[in-house]
Amino acid sequence: MTSAAASVASGLSSGFDESRRTAPHVTIRGLSKRYPDAVIYDAFDFDIPRGKLISVFGPNGCGKSTLINMIAGLVPADSGEVLFDGRPLSRVKFGYVFQNYREALFPWLPAFDNIAYPLKLMGVPKAERKLRVERLVAHLGVKIDLALYPYYLSGGQQQLVSIMRALIVEPEVLFLDEPFSALDYEMTLFMREQLQRVFMETKTTTVLVSHDLEEAVYLSDYVLLLSRHPARVVEFVPYDAPRPRTDKTMSESSFVATKAHCLKLFQHEVRRG
Amino acid sequence: MTGRQQIARALLPLVGVAMLLAVWTLVNGLKLVDPVLLPSPTETFRTLWEGMTSGKLGVDFVKTVARTISSTAIAAVIAIPLGILLGSSEKLYRSVEFLIDFFRSTPASAMFPLFLVLFGVGDRTKISVAAFGAGLVILFNVAYGVMNARKTRLLAAKVMGASRTRVLFDVMLLESLPQTFVGLRNGVSLALVIIVVAEMFIGSTDGLGQRVFEAQQLFDMPGMYAAIFAAGALGYALNLLFLLIERRFVHWAGR
């Protein structure tokens, strides 16, 4: 580790009150991405705040998923820079949750081993892997039989296993790409509560791509509204209702107003195209 | 479902068997076909039973099983690693795809003379032709299994920090297993066909193919039907065996 990176790391653990940190967690500068038929991002700049849950929302095909995929290194950017507290992605522990949990989990491993797999990659010994998974399960209050193979679990349970697999490495940043869009409505509502609980418990910087405005506002501290491509920030809308938020939150005037504001901006963007 | 319905459902496959036996008995009883050409079911199955338990048919059966299994084993040992290698690079596979498809389409029986020249008259020729045929089937199935590994699953492993080797062994290999078993089942069926044909025509002294051929030459019709049934039972049992192994080891296939 270089001395600069070391000092950043030590700053994180020297008893400094984390809640007082105001520097952005992830800085995105000059990010560009071009597909053969469209320019998706052209010198895109953005700062992701620390310890917040932000939702990315915007018109279809504007590159919501492409954004987190570039940040998480799944899709190479044509140019630009993404730094996590000044460090490149390769030095950062992060978690990523796919929309398609069925294809993201390993069906040949029981749910427990799926969750522990990232630790295995890191070379953590078996006994400790077991301990850490058990601790996470207890921490989140998960009630799933983790000895089962994923295909015996419901869709929501499988996605919860995916989220736990992303959390097991104690990531600095958690990315979720439309994690609930393959679930039915009942399960979606349940999973929103699970995610909110995870966030309240861990305070991990979280970036959620969503195609559901209600969900985006309900879960987030900020909604990042993107324009049609080439995407730019239309507005970074704050929403600071206290947590835990409940069904009642959704009928409060601040929720309704925030959602209406986002919808107005969104529709303006859609018509502009 | 009630217990009686379950039993009825389990017995359903036997209806076809019973129908065949009934028609056969009827045809035989009314002498619609010359009884010399079509012996009665009882006579045929008695010959089958006696041949399998105490006669030469049992020995021939074991010989054919041994040849089929060894050729499939040789094919698998060569084709599975090669298939993984080819499948892990689409460019590599595309560059040899035509060759594989060409030889896969070539009737293996057309290769007999060549292999006779190479290996002489004997077990080595039979086993190597069968291994050649089965190997190509296994090879292309394994390669396709690896190539068609779910992209999300590979990305998931990559995003968790898995190296290329880890992705290959932890994900691609397991992803390709269902397709590998499809290849093994098709391969063993093909190997049996080739072995039986080889036993008929390439100077054999034993094996089910030789038994069928010899019975025909001696006009021993019950013996011939018995040998045919033995070959059929073998083919069915091999397929079933591989299905059972597949269910045990690839429990997630199709889920």
Task: Tell me the average pLDDT of chain A.
Answer: 90
Q: Which residues of A touch B (CB under 8 A)?
A: 72-74, 96, 98, 100, 103-108, 117-118, 121-122, 149, 151, 165, 169
Residue in A108, A117, A151 closest to B160 by CB? A117
CA distances for B142 relative to B1, B100, B178, B221, angstroms = 40, 12, 9, 42
Strands A173-177, A79-84: parallel, antiparallel or unpaired by DSSP? unpaired
**Nearest CA of chain B to the CA of A44: how many Å?**
23
CA distances for B124 relative to B70, B74, B207, angstroms = 10, 12, 14
Chain pair A-B, CB pairs under 8 angstroms: 44
CA distances for B74 relative to A145, B80, B237, angstroms = 42, 10, 20
Residue A29's region, left for phi above 0, alpha for psi from -120 to 50, else beta, is beta
Q: What is the pLDDT of residues A150-192, one digit of tens each?
A: 999 999 899 999 999 999 999 999 999 999 988 888 888 888 9
Q: Is residue B33 part of a domain?
A: no
The token pair at A149 is 């193979």
Q: Is residue B28 part of a domain?
A: no
B150 chain-A contacts, CB cut-off 8 A? 103
B181 chain-A contacts, CB cut-off 8 A? none
Confidence band, pLDDT 50/70/90 cuts, at residue A9 = very low
ipTM of the complex: 0.83
Res. A82: pLDDT tops 90: yes
Q: In this predicted structure, what is the pLDDT of residue A5?
A: 44
Asked if residue A156 lies in contact with residue A129, where contact means CB atoms within 8 angstroms, the answer is: no
Q: What is the pLDDT of residues B13-45, one digit of tens each?
A: 899 999 999 999 999 889 888 888 889 999 999
Asked if residue B136 lies in contact with residue B174, where contact means CB atoms within 8 angstroms, the answer is: no
Taking the C-alpha atoms of residue B225 and residue B231, their distance in angstroms, rounded to an integer, is 10
Confidence band, pLDDT 50/70/90 cuts, at residue A141 = confident
Q: In this predicted structure, what is the pLDDT of residue A3?
A: 44
Segments forming the whole domain that contains residue B110:
56-249
Beta bridge partners of A39: A34
Q: Chain A: residue nearest B178 by CA? A: A108
Task: Tell me the average pLDDT of chain B.
Answer: 91
**Helical (H) or strand (E) element with B41:** helix B41-53
Residue in B150, B151, B152, B169 to test binding to A, most A beta-carbons within 10 Å:
B152
Q: A57 in helix, strand or coil?
A: strand
- Cα–chain-centroid distance for residue A154? 22
CA distances for B206 relative to A53, A254, B62, B122, B130, angstroms = 75, 88, 10, 11, 17
Average pLDDT of span B169-177: 91
Residue in B153, B158, B161 closest to A106 by CB? B153
Average pLDDT of span A120-124: 94
Confidence band, pLDDT 50/70/90 cuts, at residue B89 = confident
Q: In this predicted structure, what is the pLDDT of residue A8?
A: 46
CA distances for A10 relative to A6, A16, A112, angstroms = 6, 10, 33
B161 chain-A contacts, CB cut-off 8 A? 118, 121-122
Average pLDDT of span A244-270: 93
Q: In this predicted structure, what is the pLDDT of residue A222?
A: 96
Q: A170 in helix, strand or coil?
A: coil
Residue B37's region, left for phi above 0, alpha for psi from -120 to 50, else beta, is alpha
* Domain ranges, ordered by start, for chain A: 22-88+205-273
Res. B83: pLDDT tops 90: yes
Q: Is residue B40 part of a domain?
A: no
Q: In this predicted structure, what is the pLDDT of residue A19?
A: 67
Phi, psi dihedrals of residue A170, rounded to the nearest 5°: 50, 65
- What is the domain-level CATH number for residue B232? 1.10.3720.10
More confident residue, B216 or A14: B216
**Nearest CA of chain A to the CA of B198: how many Å?**
40
Asked if residue B231 lies in contact with residue B196, where contact means CB atoms within 8 angstroms, the answer is: yes
With tokens 């998923």, the residue in question is A65
Q: In this predicted structure, what is the pLDDT of residue A24?
A: 86
Beta bridge partners of A44: A31
Q: In this predicted structure, what is the pLDDT of residue A182?
A: 85
Q: Which of A177, A222, A231 is nearest to A33 (CA)?
A: A231
Q: Which residues contact B246 (CB under 8 A, 6 or more apart)?
A: B178, B181, B185, B253
Res. A234: pLDDT tops 70: yes
Confidence band, pLDDT 50/70/90 cuts, at residue A22 = confident
Print burial letters for A233-272: b (CB count within 10 Å at least 16), e (below 16): ebeebebebeeebeeebeeeeebeebbebbeebbeebeee
More confident residue, A239 or B1: A239
Res. A7: pLDDT tops 60: no
Q: Which of B252, B253, B235, B255 is nearest to B72 (CA)?
A: B235
Q: How many distinct structural domains can be found in chain B?
A: 1
Q: Is residue B134 part of a domain?
A: yes
Confidence band, pLDDT 50/70/90 cuts, at residue A51 = very high
Task: Quote the longest CA-to-CA distance of chain A.
Answer: 57
More confident residue, A2 or A140: A140
Q: A177 in helix, strand or coil?
A: strand
Q: In this predicted structure, what is the pLDDT of residue B4?
A: 85
Q: Which of A164, A170, A174 is nearest to A144 (CA)?
A: A164
CA distances for B17 relative to B46, B48, B80, B131, B217, angstroms = 17, 17, 37, 33, 29
Q: Chain B: residue nearest A117 by CA? A: B160
Q: In this predicted structure, what is the pLDDT of residue A17?
A: 72
With tokens 């036996």, the residue in question is B21
Q: What is the pLDDT of residues A194-205, one digit of tens each?
A: 899 989 988 999
Q: What is the pLDDT of residues A206-224, one digit of tens each?
A: 999 999 999 999 999 999 9
Q: Is residue B22 part of a domain?
A: no
Q: How far apart are the first and last CA of chain B?
A: 24
Q: In this predicted structure, what is the pLDDT of residue A273?
A: 64
DSSP A245: -
Q: In this predicted structure, what is the pLDDT of residue B33?
A: 86
Q: Which residues contact A75 (CB under 8 A, 6 or more apart)?
A: A33, A66, A69
Helix pair angle (B90-105, B123-147), 10° resolution: 140
Residue in B153, B162, B251 closest to A104 by CB? B153
CATH fold group of domain A22-88+205-273: Rossmann fold (3.40.50)
Q: In this predicted structure, what is the pLDDT of residue A18?
A: 67
Asked if residue B12 lies in contact with residue B19, where contact means CB atoms within 8 angstroms, the answer is: no
Q: In this predicted structure, what is the pLDDT of residue A2?
A: 43
Confidence band, pLDDT 50/70/90 cuts, at residue A40 = very high
Q: In this predicted structure, what is the pLDDT of residue A125?
A: 96
Percent of chain B at pLDDT > 90 equals 71
